[in-house]
Amino acid sequence: MDEFKVRTVDLQQVQNQTRHKTDGLSSSTLVLRRGQAFTVTINYDGRPFDPLKEKLIFRIVLGPIAVEVPVSRFGQPSLTQWTAVLERSVPNPTGPRALSVTLSSPATASIGVYTLQLRVEARLSVKTHLLGQFTLLCNPWCEADSVFLQSEDLRTEYVKSDIGLLFKGSPGNIVSRPWSFDQYEKGILDICMKLLQVSPQYQADMGKDLLNRSNPVYIGRVISAMVNSNDDKGVLMGNWSGDYSGGVNPSQWSGSADILRMWAATQFRPVKYGQCWVFAAVMCTVMRALGIPTRVITNFSSAHDTNGNMVIEEYYNEMGEKLSFSRDSIWNFHVWVESWMKRPDLSRGYDGWQVLDPTPQEMSAGMFRCGPAAVTAIYERRVDAQYDVPFVYAEVNADVRTMIVRNGRVLSTSVDKRRVGALISTKRPGSMSMQDITSEYKTEEDENTYRGSMAGVTGRSTTFRCEPQSDRIMVTGRSITFSCEPQSDRIMASKGVEVSLQLLKAPVVGENISFNIIITNNDAAPKLLRKHVNAQNKEYNRNPTETFWEAHDDIKIGPKETVTIKHEISFKHYMLKETEEDSLVNLAVVIEDVKSQERVLASEEFIIRSPSLDIQIQNEVSVIINTPQVATVIFTNPFNVAVSGELTVSGSGLLEEKAQMRLTIQPRETIKKRVNFTPRMAGARMLSANLVLENPPTIMHGFKTINVQAS
């Protein structure tokens, strides 16, 4: 009889990927998870396989690292080493004979793109067969994997789901924005693997990098640096200038696939432009694709403490205008990610969610990256726990020292311990709503203090008083020194006068901003007061710029009297100059007691949100895979002028190509645009729409989640 001769080897792609829960991920290779067995079928000619006459040895290659795995007739798959076990001979009298072999990888295997070879050693010959490549990912379903996550619902949300909701705005006026993570889109997984190869760590020492890739802590640090382009061939270039010429306004991105594909198509030149939520959303895509459970986090009132003293200094003049003396800033919101993993490099108790922040703010060990910082370490104030815990701790816990100044003199000062990290949130699993996770970062005492200060849509208003002082501040270059110490750590209301701000409704672009100023005279004598109100434009990540509206007048107030003064800022005063999805405003009022010279201040930062788009689905309850469907995008022009712009509709697993159309809409006109789509993936899907208007320059969003049924 003829000798044993291998004809073909079948990597059983469909069956293996279904078992490994990688079905749907698009790659040029077989996609597997570590710590789990997979099956290959060896088709052969000639006499039956005889283990006494020939040896079968699999060779598993990752860069310069190779493992030889002899096929054994007896044994069990192992979680600690590569194994290959002969399952059975498949009898087939007419066609080629077949052997079924179960291979398994250790739960600590490095993630990457492997090459699989089979060597057949007979008495007189040795033949090697190249079987192809497979991509190995982390395995949150495997208890021995350091990214293991117990709950199937959470694995579904934080690994398998490609639907995102990002939260922006301010704590009292939150807006949610849809994001498509796109990890199932064509070619995206391969680009994520390429991102690891382009990293400086791989380029400097390939072997060391590949060995380290067994550890999600290491992977997280690499990806955190690679998502920004500050010191490598990273994916995104940040831009907070307001001038986005030569690139895309960060507010116009709605998914990760366009960004990652553009980066790969241009030989890894940075994509222009990103801001914090774009950096975080792209990192979430990459981490989920690699099999590491990840969620996007928004920290409202996020401190950027440049000098590490845990205090953010803010300055106002006596007219209520916020001044840009300090390099410190409070971002209205900042967005990062958390990834789930064990921390064997730390003492016990720090496994679980870890903060990773790809937005380039500060360097960590010589590169623009941040984390992983254990959320538990932040909660416990373990600032010695690696990596970057002090920076993240300050983002959620710094004190705010506010001063009213005149001619270099501090007139009054106050410290607010509640404002920073006012609300920390993420998307609720299985729902398109927000989950408050502040209690995971901060103690109940800190939270309760903040919760007591929230009031309706006003967010928070600060009133305080210090005695007039003669302390001077000196601005020398970019450093500031002052000697005014707070009288107490608590926000203080003046004995004589109190003031607060109250937004009457959540402001929307095109409408007036209506608010009340409420002044109370606590004394038994009448007072003459001077009122200074100031509204300034603001970017979310830095101090306000120019004043666009102000009001100054004198008020007479009776003993023990409370007066409410209503103000309106018309649309023409705040009309947008640059294309934005939500405009930010810093509103402040300073009340001066003419006789005593005491001053009190109330301030509020809020967004003017864009109108939203409505999406309706025909036969919404019976959307079936591979069956044509119709969506309708509806928008009413709220402006008194005709507007024109471009509407884009996209949906991973729903639309092969984005639907784009130019629109002109008359004042108060309602338009309805039909979009045909055919779902190609079952489960929860999301259709999102963006309308970018040119005049006024505004970006509007809408989204609809659809449950696509299998046929």
Catalytic residues: 276, 334, 357
Query: Which residues face 374 on adjacent strands?
Result: 354
Q: List Cβ neighbours of 678 (8 Å cut-off, separation of 6 or more).
A: 626, 627, 628, 629, 654
Buried b (16+ CB within 10 A) or exposed e, 455-464: eeebbbbbbb
**In this structure, what token pair is assigned to residue 528?**
């003459």
**In this structure, what token pair is assigned to residue 477?**
């270059």
Q: List Cβ neighbours of 476 (8 Å cut-off, separation of 6 or more).
A: none
Nearest partner of 705 among 435, 428, 508, judged by Cα: 428
Asked if 57 and 121 count as a contact pair (C-beta separation under 8 A), the reply is: yes
Radius of gyration of the chain (CA): 30
Beta strand 271-274 with 236-238 is parallel
Buried b (16+ CB within 10 A) or exposed e, 377-408: bbeeebbebbbbbbbbbbbbbbbbbbbbbeee
Residue type, 709: Q
Q: Measured between alpha carbons, how far is residue 2 from residues 48, 49, 50, 51, 62 in Å?
A: 10, 11, 13, 16, 35
Asked if 673 and 632 count as a contact pair (C-beta separation under 8 A), the reply is: yes
Asked if 400 and 312 count as a contact pair (C-beta separation under 8 A), the reply is: yes
**Pairwise CA distance, residues 605 & 554, whole Å:** 25
**Pairwise CA distance, residues 357 & 148, whole Å:** 22
Element (H, E) at 136: strand 126-137
Buried b (16+ CB within 10 A) or exposed e, 62-92: bbeeeeebebeeeeebebeebbbbbeeeeee
Nearest partner of 598 among 708, 492, 493, 467, judged by Cα: 467
Nearest partner of 601 among 486, 492, 454, 483, judged by Cα: 492
DSSP 709: B
**In this structure, what token pair is assigned to residue 235?**
């994916």
**In this structure, what token pair is assigned to residue 541?**
């990540």
333, 336, 338, 342 alpha-carbon torsion, rounded to 10° = -130
Asked if 142 and 107 count as a contact pair (C-beta separation under 8 A), the reply is: yes
Asked if 378 and 391 count as a contact pair (C-beta separation under 8 A), the reply is: no
Q: List Cβ neighbours of 589 (8 Å cut-off, separation of 6 or more).
A: 320, 499, 501, 517, 531, 532, 533, 534, 601, 602, 603
Residue type, 33: R
Q: List Cβ neighbours of 266 (8 Å cut-off, separation of 6 or more).
A: none
Q: List Cβ neighbours of 42 (8 Å cut-off, separation of 6 or more).
A: 6, 9, 56, 98, 99, 100, 101, 118
**Pairwise CA distance, residues 249 & 337, whole Å:** 22
**Pairwise CA distance, residues 497 & 596, whole Å:** 11
